[in-house]
Amino acid sequence: MHCGKRMLYEKPQALTPPRTDVVMMTPWLAPIVWNGTYNIDILNAQFQLRGVRIGLAMFAIKKYVVFLQQFIETAEKFFMVGHKVNYYILTDRVEEVHQYNFKLGEGRQLFTLQSPTYKRWQDICFRRMEMIRNYTRDRFINEVDYLAVADIDMQFSDDVGVESLSELFGTIHPGFYNLSRQSFTYERRAESRAYIPPDEGDFYYAAGYFGGTTEEIYKLTNYCHNGIMADRKKNIEALWHEESHLNKYFIYYKPTKLLSPEYLWDNRMGIPGFLKRRRFVAVPKNHNEIRNKRSIKEKQRASKNAKH
Binding residues: 59-61, 64, 151-153, 173, 185, 243, 266
Give the helix ranges, DSSP H, for the chain.
Answer: 40-50, 68-78, 94-97, 121-135, 141-143, 214-233, 241-252, 287-292, 296-307
* First-to-last C-alpha distance (Å) of the chain: 73
Q: What is the dihedral of CA 209, 213, 218, 219, to 10 degrees?
A: -100
Binding-site members for UDP-N-acetyl-alpha-D-galactosamine are 59-61, 64, 151-153
Which residue out of 242, 243, 262, 298 is catalytically annotated? 243
Give the span between the Cα atoms of 86 and 65, in whole angstroms.
18
Helix (H, G, I), strand (E, B) or coil at 108: strand
C-beta of residue 44 within 8 angstroms of C-beta of residue 81: no
The answer to whether residue 130 is catalytic is no
- C-alpha of 53 from chain center: 16
What is Dmax (Cα atoms) for the chain? Answer: 75
Give the span between the Cα atoms of 108 and 76, in whole angstroms.
9
C-beta of residue 196 within 8 angstroms of C-beta of residue 251: yes
Query: For the range 105-108, what are the long-range contacts, defined as Cβ-Cβ under 8 Å and sequence gap of 24 or more?
Result: 105/76, 105/81, 107/83, 108/76, 108/84
C-beta of residue 173 within 8 angstroms of C-beta of residue 240: no
Binding-site members for Mn(2+) are 151, 153
CB-based burial label for 64 (10 Å; 0-12, 13-18, 19+): buried
State which H helix or E strand residue 176 sits in.
none
Residues with catalytic roles: 243
